[in-house]
Amino acid sequence: MKAIILAGGFATRLKPISEICPKPLLPIVGKPIIQYIIEKVEQVGEVDGIFVTTNERFKEHFTNWLSHFRSNKPIKLIIEKTKNENEKLGAIGAIGALAKNENIGDDLLVVAGDNLFDFSLVDFTKDAKQKDSSLVAFYDIQSFELAKRFGVTTLDKNSKILEFVEKPKNPKTTLISTCCYLIKKEDLGLLHKYLEDKNNSDKPGYFVKWLSERKAVYGFTFSGKWFDIGQLDSYRAANLEYEERLRG
């Protein structure tokens, strides 16, 4: 299994701080967000390599960070030839390009580089193995108004995805996608077909919808805390939460 951490965005909603520091490297009580993610990835025994995909604009930031960071898994930095929002490959585009260029034929554990969450990636990957399917992590945000900002799902009693809608005007549930995926190696060919057919290469939710309409894809619903560091208020809230944890 290979892990991919998506860090290629330009975080326009986090300006001005995102102009001098890419979002995954923003500190939460002194430690970059991406390191919290990597610590969870390191616990997954099946993962034998981590890829961090970013853009040309933030190449130096990530190169410098990686030169000072040590992990128990090999980490490779992948630089997209993009320097602004209009040029970016998009999340699914980046996954597809990386899988092709690196000749990956393994299961893919994919996590957004701005994701802070309490659940165990060991449990997540075990669930994917038990269900023998690609898997999406979902969180009950408990607000229909907030759910409008995300990809929203409806699951059956066995957690199979029945419907997935990206940023619905009238969400049917409050179960939202958190940009954490296990893509089975058997589905990589479908991912490449999705991109070859010129489907939306940015929002992963569109691929989840497309894939779940063609085969069984399941959800992993977790509880606890989850932060999508997309705006300044969520960044502040995450820092406050982790400061409290440090104080015990």
The pLDDT score that the predictor gives to residue 204 is 87
The pLDDT score that the predictor gives to residue 207 is 94
The pLDDT score that the predictor gives to residue 225 is 92
Residue among 153, 164, 216 at smallest CA distance from 190: 216
Domain boundaries, the chain: 2-132+179-247
For 88-109, give the DSSP string.
---HHHHHHHHHHHTT--S-EE
Residue among 15, 4, 5, 21 at smallest CA distance from 64: 21
Per-residue pLDDT of the chain (248 residues; tens, 9 = 90+): 999 999 977 656 666 676 778 889 999 999 999 999 999 999 999 999 999 999 888 999 999 999 999 999 999 999 988 766 666 678 899 999 999 999 999 999 999 999 999 999 999 999 999 999 999 999 999 999 999 999 999 999 999 999 999 999 999 999 999 999 999 999 999 999 999 999 988 888 899 999 999 999 999 999 999 998 877 888 899 999 999 998 87
Q: Which CATH number fits domain 2-132+179-247: 3.40.50.300, 3.90.550.10, 1.10.357.10, 3.40.50.720?
A: 3.90.550.10
Model confidence, pTM: 0.94
Give the Cα-Cα-Cα angle 26, 44, 234 (nearest 5 degrees).
25
For the chain, the C-alpha Rg in angstroms (whole number) is: 17
